[in-house]
């Protein structure tokens, strides 16, 4: 009799978003005349920019002609895209990444889960708390965690690194030594960042502890402050301890188009085995490559026009973030994030849980946001608002909150 992977049974249902959907549906039914505005949108809303659309059309036309048709993509991705990444994301920042250290993929969500395949089940993971839930969930699936503890809404055998007001929402080095450390900066959901000096401490720690850092830089394009690193490889020694995940989703609107990449340096090794070779093997065996058309679209992001147009989109969202931060501060709330990330992290007023505040906003102002407790135990008492809505709705929503 075959057996299933029973680790999947340990996963909790997607309580956060299903509960939000249920509450919003009930509210709409009871209040059909109210216009509900979402400040909880996690997806981008601006369309793909003209430079990308033009590249897509051109690539589609190429696929119609035998001489320019493209079938299977090369294992690591097309060189034209890896060269553009190498040049713009790394060389221009003084970082030397080789072409065969860049692996084109269908996005950071898949990579953040799949990368676990090259690590043993026995590794102990450490995660920021709160954080993007995919890191923990994929490790649950892989059997790297213990059991879910309902009372604390956390997993045994996972090292949680609280990110709280006291540490400016950037974790401290853990007391217990992990094997795999997930860092995500700028962070979802807190919108917090880490300075280059702070990140250097993590790199030094990982090198000394023999741990690997999986650094999720999906929101790199939102960084506006000079002392915030755009890539972990700006830190000395990062190539011997860090893998970096990147995405075209939030900088260029590829959430539905799908494109990302992972950097696995050749210096990174465990027991004399190079992680780059393992990931290359995995990529070649189990991944058919992002489509040619999409990789050409990704290349267009790095052209002058593409850079100008995608930066305008990021600026549009960040203007929304500023409206949210300024408005909430005027209304007397304590907020953070929103300067280097499209996420604003609000401290719920005294005595209100994250879910109490959700109800308060929905019932009092017809606004939907995301309870912080859904991102980890330390998110209790916080609330995430996102800048991905329209300018008009963001203004309207903040006005309503001010009048609550
Ligand atoms: N990493 C973080 C921190 C995210 O918040 C998200 C999406 O919200 C992703 C990765 C997903 O990226 P992609 O669309 O490239 O899969």
Contact residues for 404 (Cβ-Cβ < 8 A; gap 6+): 331, 360, 361, 364, 365
Q: Does the CB atom of residue 132 touch ligand 1 within 6 A?
A: yes
Query: Taking the model in full, what pTM does it have?
Result: 0.97
Q: Pick the residue whose CA is nearest to atom 5 on ligand 1.
A: 188
Q: Which two tokens stand for residue 162?
A: 């609280």
**β-bridge mates for residue 149, sequence order:** 154
Look at residues 314, 344, 294, 185 and name the one whose alpha carbon lies nearest to residue 250: 314
**Test site for ligand 1: of 106, 133, 188, 251, most ligand atoms within 8 A of the Cβ:** 188
Per-residue tens of pLDDT for the chain, all 404 residues:
999 999 999 998 777 888 999 999 999 999 999 999 999 988 999 999 999 999 999 999 999 999 999 999 999 999 999 999 999 999 999 999 999 999 999 999 999 999 999 999 999 999 999 999 999 999 999 999 999 998 888 999 999 999 999 999 999 999 999 999 999 999 999 999 999 999 999 999 999 999 999 999 999 999 999 999 999 999 999 999 999 999 999 999 999 999 999 999 999 999 999 999 999 999 999 999 999 999 999 999 999 999 999 999 999 999 999 999 999 999 999 999 999 999 999 999 988 999 999 999 999 999 999 999 999 999 999 999 999 999 999 999 999 999 98
Q: Does the CB atom of residue 341 touch ligand 1 within 6 A?
A: no
Q: Does the CB atom of residue 20 touch ligand 1 within 6 A?
A: no
For residue 12, the model assigns a pLDDT of: 85
Q: C-alpha distances in angstroms, 130 versus 133, 262, 285, 371, 385? A: 8, 23, 34, 11, 15
Query: 96 CA to middle of ligand 1, Å?
Result: 25
For residue 351, the model assigns a pLDDT of: 82
Query: 218 CA to middle of ligand 1, Å?
Result: 6
Query: 52 CA to middle of ligand 1, Å?
Result: 20
Q: Cα–Cα distance between 287 and 355 in angstroms, integer?
A: 40
Q: C-alpha distances in angstroms, 143 versus 1, 5, 13, 72, 161? A: 21, 9, 17, 33, 20
Range 289-292, long-range pairs (CB < 8 A, 24+ positions): 289/72, 289/73, 289/74, 289/75, 289/77, 289/104, 290/73, 290/77, 290/104, 290/105, 290/106, 290/258, 290/259, 291/73, 292/59, 292/62, 292/63, 292/70, 292/73, 292/78
Query: 1 CA to middle of ligand 1, Å?
Result: 37
Query: 296 CA to middle of ligand 1, Å?
Result: 21
Phi, psi of 227 (to 5 degrees): -85, 10
Look at residues 95, 209, 200, 189 and name the one whose alpha carbon lies nearest to residue 388: 189
For residue 16, the model assigns a pLDDT of: 84
Torsion over CA of 87, 91, 96 and 101, rounded to 10 degrees? Answer: -30
Specify the DSSP element, H or E, that contains 302.
none
Q: Does the CB atom of residue 218 touch ligand 1 within 6 A?
A: yes
């Amino acid at each position: 009799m075959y057996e299933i992977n029973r680790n999947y049974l340990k996963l909790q249902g997607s309580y956060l978003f299903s509960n939000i959907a249920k509450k919003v549906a009930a509210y709409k039914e009871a209040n059909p005349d109210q216009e509900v505005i979402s400040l909880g949108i996690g997806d981008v809303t601006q369309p793909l920019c003209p430079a990308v659309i033009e590249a897509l059309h051109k690539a589609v036309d190429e696929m119609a002609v035998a001489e320019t048709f493209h079938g299977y993509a090369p294992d690591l991705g097309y060189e034209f895209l890896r060269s553009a990444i190498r040049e713009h994301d790394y060389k221009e920042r003084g970082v030397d990444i080789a072409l065969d250290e860049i692996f084109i993929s269908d996005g950071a969500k898949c990579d953040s889960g799949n990368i676990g395949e090259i690590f043993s089940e026995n590794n102990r993971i450490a995660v920021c708390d709160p954080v993007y839930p995919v890191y923990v969930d994929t490790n649950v699936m892989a059997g790297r965690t213990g059991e879910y503890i309902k009372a604390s809404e956390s997993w045994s055998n996972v090292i949680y690194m609280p990110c709280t007001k006291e540490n400016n929402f950037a974790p401290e080095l853990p007391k217990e030594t992990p094997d795999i450390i997930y860092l995500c900066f700028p962070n979802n959901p807190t919108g917090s960042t880490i300075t280059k000096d702070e990140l250097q401490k993590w790199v030094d720690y990982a090198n000394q502890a023999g741990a690997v850092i999986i650094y999720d830089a999906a929101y790199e394009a939102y960084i506006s402050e000079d002392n915030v690193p755009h890539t972990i490889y700006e830190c000395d020694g990062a190539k011997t301890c860090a893998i970096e995940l990147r995405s075209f989703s939030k900088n260029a609107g590829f959430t539905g188009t799908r494109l990302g990449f992972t950097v696995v340096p050749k210096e990174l090794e465990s027991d004399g085995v190079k992680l780059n070779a393992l990931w290359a093997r995995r990529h070649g065996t189990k991944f058919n490559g992002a489509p040619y058309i999409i990789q050409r679209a990704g290349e267009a992001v790095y052209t002058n026009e593409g850079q100008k147009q995608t930066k305008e989109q990021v600026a549009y969202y960040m203007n929304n973030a500023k409206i949210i931060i300024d408005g909430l501060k005027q209304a007397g709330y304590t907020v953070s994030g929103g300067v280097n990330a499209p996420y604003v992290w609000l401290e719920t007023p005294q005595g209100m849980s994250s879910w109490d505040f959700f109800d308060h906003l929905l019932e009092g102002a017809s606004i939907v946001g995301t309870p912080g407790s859904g991102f980890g135990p330390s998110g209790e008492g916080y609330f995430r608002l996102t800048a991905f809505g329209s300018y008009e709705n963001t203004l309207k929503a903040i006005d309503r909150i001010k009048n609550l």
